[in-house]
Amino acid sequence: MGLLDAGIKNHNVLVTSVDNVLNWARLSSLWPMGFGLACCAIEMMATNASNYDLERFGIFPRSSPRQSDLMIVAGTVTMKMAERVIRLYEQMPEPRYVLSMGSCSNCGGPYWEHGYHVLKGVDRIIPVDVYVPGCPPRPESLIGGLMKVQELIRMEQIGISRADALKKLAEKSVDPQFVIERERKAAEA
Amino acid sequence: MEEGKVFSQSVQQSAAAYAIIHEKFGSAVSAFDANETMPFFEVLDARLWRDIALFMRDHAKLKFNYMACLTGMDYQAEEKLGIVCNLESLSLFNHRLAVKVKCERDGGFIPSVACVWHTANWHEREAYDMFGILFTGHPDFRRILCPDDWEGFPLRKDYKVQESYHGIKVPY
Amino acid sequence: MQELDTAGLGSIRVTRKDDHTVVIEKDLATEQMVLAMGPQHPSTHGVLKLECLTDGEVITQAEPFLGYLHRCFEKCCENVDYPAIVPYTDRLDYLSGMNSEFAYALAVEKLLDIEIPRRVEFIRVIVAELNRIASHLVAIGTYGIDLGAFTPFLFCFRDREIILGLLEWVSGARMLYNYIWIGGLAYDIPSDFLKRVGEFIAYFRPKTVELCNLLTKNEIFVKRTIGIGIMPAEVAINYGWSGPMLRGSGVKWDLRRNDPYSVYPELDFNVPVPDGKLSIVGDCLSRHLVRALEMEESLKIIEQCISKMPATEGFNPRSAIPKRIRPKAGEVYARAENPRGELGFYILSDGKSTKPLRCKARSSCFVNLSAMKDLSKGQLLPDLVAIIGSIDIVLGEVDR
């Protein structure tokens, strides 16, 4: 998968493209902003803590937006908070990524209909790269989402835009229904 | 209290506490509504609410030192707003009482009891934020949960949510 | 005594007295400064904003600003049926979903006036107490992080995961359970559940002592919490404090004891209050100690529940759930002891609708936090973090 797995034998000389090295370095030290909003923040904390240990992915929360690459919007964004979220996003250095964690920040969640004070989807105010569904998502699904962010970074090249990279990522996506069917058939056989 | 019906001990204790208040304030308070779920009485003259509150807190046999809850209410049928306060005497006596105070929907006000129980401070701000109930003599009277420039009072029954807030669309 | 460097402009002396109170003397003209802390700050436990007016290092006023997580709980309640409110109550105090559901179920059952099967009551108490331990573990762990100790956090979350695993086994969800329904439960407990809970108790009992010692025997932690944010009992009651906060001030008040509900009257447990030996009554350390000691009491309660649990053949946890929940006209205020204090629900029913006319959640954190102004006055700025941590707020419950 990674560069190191390919095996380095000949006097530590490695031939690869600059993109690959840069992307590898960036995706292996993805620092999210330690920024919890609601219930999902507790699952984010649980993912950081002993059992799920996010640090093995090189992911460790930073307290300041200026030091972080990734913003995990963990929880309900309200109207009062919306402007702060925008400001925090703008303080992050480029290239920056946004992961929307949980139903509330994806689309308003259980509060979509009667929550007058709830922002119905954080993508109304900032661009979102990866959505993680769930209320709250399990740590496993958060890790899945973070790996998607890593994949997105791996797709990036100098000269192609984020939108193109996202498109390439979408092409690689697997239809879960197909996998379920395949597994079911394999189990039957 | 209804005749012929036996209430539990806690309701009887509440009735005894009410009797002391009724003796002092007479017609300013309504009759005691004895029920098992939440025994209460209503303050008919809202202007006296702070005096009643002080009396309830300081009287040697009442000592309602703990305000459990203060709920803002919208009585749409009566065209009134109001509050419901759940009071009790923490670790001194066993009686619990709920007090209701109502005011006019437009321009009515209720005296603040934030100086009697500190708890009331934020609860009253919340009641104002959600229902637009005005409290006179409150030390720090402004919205608490919604932003200061939010339009309308969300929990009123006739509330219509605003279309946008600072350029962000509000409804789904 | 500590002399602060003022570059020759005057002098500031900070003295820590024997009773741990801090006295600051200065003969130097200073200017007040407004310092905004939050809503994004690692130690505000969510999205709380504090506007501090500081005079050098000393806080003259710290005013909390809420509402950054106002999710319109009460509006949602007025628009959905009674059983559909249960998932919303989970999201109030998301660290102790079971306890919130329990309080709400109690309120509606009181309004409906229905009998609950005994086995349901015991299961409720077991899951609620398990959740209380999980919640206190988060409180203790994050309090450690706030004051610079990272290890307790890892230990606490390690043990918390076991509880979450048990509760997931019961309900299907890790955090927001929707398990305690009005009049019953969503499912019966799995067949081996009680055995596994017993194993957990055996595993966790020594760990409570270990966790307690990790912080309370840590010199740095003790120095940073003792004598900080002292709240006298009388003022605490006037502020409406409840739960570990009130007990930290030395008032032996626990709703499980003083206004008992469910099967708590049959159970034997202590209500820990600080004795003033390890801490000064009413300070941050006392509040922390109460939480640490309460975990042991919860274990005791669970043990008793397991031994008293009636085994019922063909038990249906949904047998007492009414087909159509439409309470008669009336109002109710019912409360339960949450890990953070008294969670009460005021519900008004008009007798015709299947939706409540008004449902207010009396949140313990909201009330506890309202004393912030008094607690932080005259304290040093770094101690503010210690005070917020000791209140153990959950913003979901504060803002609702």
Residue-wise DSSP of A11-60: TT-----HHHHHHHHHHTT--EE--B-SHHHHHHHHHHSTTT-GGGGT--
Q: Residue C337 forms beta bridges with which residues?
A: C342
The structural domains of chain B, ordered by start, are: 9-169 (3.30.460.80)
CA distance C366 to B138: 18
Contact between residue C343 and residue C354 where contact means Cβ atoms under 8 Å apart: no
Give contacts of C 221-250 with B, CB under 8 A. 235, 237-240
Q: Are strands C358-362 and C341-349 parallel, antiparallel or unpaired?
A: antiparallel
Quickly list DSSP for C180-224.
Answer: EETTEESSPPPTTHHHHHHHHHHHHHHHHHHHHHHHHT-HHHHHH
Beta-carbon contacts of C204 under 8 Å, excluding residues fewer than 6 positions away, are C133, C159, C162, C299
Domain match, C249 and C206 both: yes
CA distance A14 to A7: 10
What confidence category does residue C1 fall into, taking pLDDT thresholds of 50, 70 and 90? low
CA distance A111 to A117: 9
Domain match, C51 and C199 both: no
Tell me which residue of C214, C212, C169 sits closest to C188, measured CA to CA.
C169
Cβ neighbourhood burial of B134 (10 Å; 0-12, 13-18, 19+): middle
- Would you write out chain A's pLDDT as a tens digit for each of its 189 residues? 455 666 666 666 778 888 888 888 888 888 888 778 888 888 888 888 888 888 888 888 888 888 888 999 888 898 888 888 898 899 999 888 999 998 988 988 888 888 888 888 888 899 998 899 888 898 999 998 998 888 888 888 777 778 888 888 788 777 778 888 888 899 887
Q: Are strands C180-181 and C184-185 parallel, antiparallel or unpaired?
A: antiparallel
Contact between residue B145 and residue C70 where contact means Cβ atoms under 8 Å apart: yes
- In whole numbers, what is the pLDDT of chain C averaged over residues? 86
Span B48-64, mean pLDDT? 86
pLDDT of residue A166: 81
DSSP state letter for B150: -
Q: Residue B61: pLDDT above 60?
A: yes
- In whole numbers, what is the pLDDT of chain A averaged over residues? 85
Residue showing tokens 């002592």: C209
Contact between residue C227 and residue C283 where contact means Cβ atoms under 8 Å apart: yes
Distance between start and end Cα atoms, chain C: 44
Chain C residues with at least one Cβ partner in A under 8 Å? 39-42, 46-47, 67-72, 75-76, 78-80, 87-88, 91, 94-95, 138, 141-142, 153-155, 157-158, 160-161, 164, 174-176, 395-396
Chain A partners within 8 Å of B170 (Cβ): 79, 116
Span C199-221, mean pLDDT? 88
Contact between residue C346 and residue B69 where contact means Cβ atoms under 8 Å apart: yes
Contact between residue C268 and residue C163 where contact means Cβ atoms under 8 Å apart: no
Chain A partners within 8 Å of B154 (Cβ): 116-117
SS3 at position C240: coil
- For residues C5 and C324, the model is more confident at C324
Q: Residue B102: pLDDT above 50?
A: yes
- A 10 A CB-CB count for A189 gives 5
Domain match, C116 and C53 both: no
Q: pLDDT for A39-89, tens place per residue?
A: 888 888 888 888 888 888 888 888 888 888 899 988 889 888 888 889 889
Is the N-terminal amide bond of C39 cis, ω within 30° of 0?
A: yes
Contact between residue C244 and residue C392 where contact means Cβ atoms under 8 Å apart: yes
Domain match, C126 and C18 both: no
Domain match, C26 and C154 both: no
Distance between start and end Cα atoms, chain A: 31
Domain match, C45 and C144 both: no
- A 10 A CB-CB count for C164 gives 20
CA distance C289 to A18: 55
Residue C317 backbone class (left: φ over 0; alpha: ψ -120 to 50; beta: rest): alpha
Residue showing tokens 């192609």: A160
Q: Is the four-CA dihedral A48, A54, A56, A60 of positive or negative sign?
A: negative
SS3 at position C373: helix
CATH number at residue C240: 1.10.645.10
SS3 at position B79: coil
Q: How far is A116 from chain B (nearest CA, A)?
A: 6
What confidence category does residue C162 fall into, taking pLDDT thresholds of 50, 70 and 90? very high
Residue in A34, A38, A113 nearest the CB of C94: A38
Cβ neighbourhood burial of C127 (10 Å; 0-12, 13-18, 19+): buried
Interior angle at CA C83, CA C79 and CA C88, nearest 5: 65
**What phi and psi values does residue B69 have, to the nearest 5 degrees?**
-155, 150
Span C328-353, mean pLDDT? 88
Q: How far is A130 from chain C (nearest CA, A)?
A: 22
pLDDT of residue A1: 47
Given C65, C88, C106, which residue is the final one in a domain?
C65
* Number of separate domains in chain C: 2
Domain match, C164 and C47 both: no
Percent of chain A with pLDDT over 90: 4
Percent of chain C with pLDDT over 70: 96
Gyration radius from chain C CA atoms: 22
pLDDT of residue C133: 92
Residue in B67, B91, B130 nearest the CB of C240: B67
Q: Are strands A97-101 and A130-132 parallel, antiparallel or unpaired?
A: parallel
Quickly list DSSP for B19-61.
Answer: HHHHHHHGGGB---B--SS--EEEESSGGGHHHHHHHHHH-TT
The ipTM of this complex is 0.90
Contact between residue C251 and residue B90 where contact means Cβ atoms under 8 Å apart: yes
Q: Listing from the earlier edge strand, what are the strands of the sheet with C32-37?
A: C32-37, C49-55, C58-65
- A 10 A CB-CB count for B39 gives 24
Contact between residue C197 and residue C126 where contact means Cβ atoms under 8 Å apart: yes
Say which amino acid occupies C279.
Answer: S
Residue showing tokens 């988060």: C138
- Which chain B residue shows the shortest CA-CA distance from A82? B168
Interior angle at CA B146, CA B107 and CA C355, nearest 5: 80
Using CA atoms, how far residue C2 sits from B82, C14, C23, C25, C376, in Å, is 54, 5, 10, 11, 21
Packed helices C381-391 and C118-146: angle between N→C axes, nearest 10 degrees: 170
Q: Residue C63 forms beta bridges with which residues?
A: C51
- A 10 A CB-CB count for B127 gives 27
Write out the residue range of the structural domain in which residue C177 sits. 73-399
What confidence category does residue C25 fall into, taking pLDDT thresholds of 50, 70 and 90? confident
Q: Residue B1: pLDDT above 70?
A: no
Beta-carbon contacts of A177 under 8 Å, excluding residues fewer than 6 positions away, are none
Given C18, C43, C65, which residue is the final one in a domain?
C65
Cβ neighbourhood burial of B7 (10 Å; 0-12, 13-18, 19+): middle
pLDDT of residue C131: 92
- A 10 A CB-CB count for C30 gives 15
Contact between residue C143 and residue C42 where contact means Cβ atoms under 8 Å apart: no
Residue in A37, A113, A114 nearest the CB of C47: A37
Domain match, C211 and C358 both: yes
C366 touches chain B (CB under 8 A): yes
Distance between start and end Cα atoms, chain B: 49
Chain A partners within 8 Å of B172 (Cβ): 108, 112-113, 120
pLDDT of residue C203: 92
Q: Which residues of C250-272 are buried (b: 16+ CB within 10 A; e: fewer)?
A: bbebbbbeebebbbbeebebebb
Q: Is the four-CA dihedral A43, A48, A51, A55 of positive or negative sign?
A: positive
Domain match, C228 and C332 both: yes
Domain match, C89 and C46 both: no
Tell me which residue of C378, C369, C386, C360 sits closest to C49, measured CA to CA.
C369
Q: Residue C7: pLDDT above 70?
A: no
Say which amino acid occupies C263.
Answer: V
CA distance C85 to C73: 9
Chain B partners within 8 Å of C48 (Cβ): none
SS3 at position B153: coil
Domain match, C25 and C142 both: no
Say which amino acid occupies A139.
Answer: P
Span C299-315, mean pLDDT? 85
Give contacts of A 146-175 with C, CB under 8 A. none
pLDDT of residue B30: 85
Quickly list DSSP for A59-84.
Answer: ---BSSGGG-SEEEEESPPBHHHHHH
Given C15, C37, C65, which residue is the final one in a domain?
C65
Across the interface, whether the CB atoms of C237 and B71 are under 8 A apart is answered no
pLDDT of residue C190: 86
Q: Residue C2: pLDDT above 80?
A: no
Q: pLDDT for B90-100, tens place per residue?
A: 878 888 888 88
Domain match, C142 and C277 both: yes
CA distance C142 to C291: 13
CA distance C397 to C362: 9
C337 touches chain B (CB under 8 A): no
